[in-house]
Amino acid sequence: MRIDDERDLHGQLEAAFEAITPRPAPVDRAVRRGRAIRVRRRVAVAAGAAAVVAIGVLAVPSLLHRSAAAGPVAPAGGNTVTVQAPGPHSAPGLIASGTIDGRRWQLTAAKPGTGAAGPGEQIFTTSGPAFEGRGGPQPWPALVVNGAYSVPFRGVLVIGPVQVMFGAVPADVTYIAVRLGNGAVLTLHPAAVYGVRAVAFAVPVGAGIVDAAAYSQQGEIAAAIPFNESDGIAYFGLSLTPGQHGLARASGRIGSGTANGTAWSVTAYLGPWGICYQTNAVGTPAVFCPPTPSDLDSGGLWGYTERSPSLSVAGGHAPASAAWVIVSQPNGTTTKIWPVTVGGQKLFAFQQQTGPNPPRWTAYDSSGHVVRWPAG
């Protein structure tokens, strides 16, 4: 489905949405999840010739089913949201500020590597009445420009009833337009922040984000439709160029099990955002949406880690001809996995063992021959 088609479909449905009384946003549950998401969400992906790691800590929800409800967009009701870029006399590091129903918010970045930031991290501070006293500094991967995606919202913070999204934009992006579920459009102008150009916005949890489009001086250059989780949190994955086709919507469970008495499962959600993986374990779902198709296609792995009780889950995207996958576990053992086909894609998930080495995997076809993703 092309991004233009998604927009046309949304336009046709707007009249129907207006006739439906929207349910209240899931704020109470989101408030309970707030700190867990902020502290635990770390997902890393490494791509390599044979496979690689990705065990970090946090973001995302079986029988196979195709559902138009995968990634639903909820109407934003009567919320009024504003955003503005820093002025010439703003404090250093300010990315953006604005209001939600008249209550102010702002997001500020510290210089990378300073304060309590670890290697490759940066401290981002949320402040203002919109966060209901829950704002404050949070470590996150440092702002980095990646030309593979012009819609850059890799940073996701859920603070009380508010979701903040931020990221660094390429040099050719002059502004980004974010369309919300109530039809409002937020225009984001990049701000210079410690050597990069960054944008940010904040919306109520459950407001629903329809899409975001990046513009240069010549016009639209890319757009992205996010995966809207059932709890009201939005996650951006792939950026699509005008006219580019995205995946058809589908979802299905790709793995489950029990580790140390803790049940876990992983569900894949496919759509114009690409593929989002949602891990359920210990109450708080964790979501990961690769920002480029090659992140997992070259043999990489996404990973989810829960410290207490101890649990690590990982997974990947196998070539279409793969019949099974052999995982070399960090402790030296091997695990055989049969990928699950969801929306025409071969996906898999498994419990990762503890050990000193990164996990690696190899895919085989039904004849036992090694199959790999095409180079590039």
Parse the chain into domains and list their residue ranges.
68-244, 246-376
CA dihedral 35, 37, 39, 41 (to 10 degrees): 180
User: Tens digit of pLDDT per residue, the chain (376 long)?
Assistant: 444 444 443 333 333 323 323 333 333 333 323 322 332 333 322 222 222 223 222 222 222 222 223 333 334 457 899 999 999 889 999 999 999 999 999 999 999 999 889 999 999 999 999 999 999 999 999 999 877 667 889 888 999 999 999 999 999 999 999 999 989 999 999 999 999 999 999 999 999 899 999 999 999 999 999 999 988 899 998 889 898 888 999 999 999 998 878 889 999 999 999 999 999 886 667 888 887 665 455 556 777 776 656 788 888 899 999 999 999 999 999 999 999 999 999 999 999 998 998 888 999 999 999 998 765 4
Q: Which residues contact 32 (CB under 8 A, 6 or more apart)?
A: none
17 SS3 class: helix
Which are the contacts of 3, defined by CB distance < 8 A and separation ≥ 6?
Answer: 211, 223, 224, 225, 240, 242, 244, 246, 272
CA 315 to each of CA 26, 29, 171, 261: distance values in angstroms, whole numbers, following the listed order: 29, 27, 34, 20
The CA distance from 91 to 223, in Å, is: 30
Length of the chain (residues) = 376
Tokens read off for 200: 């940010």
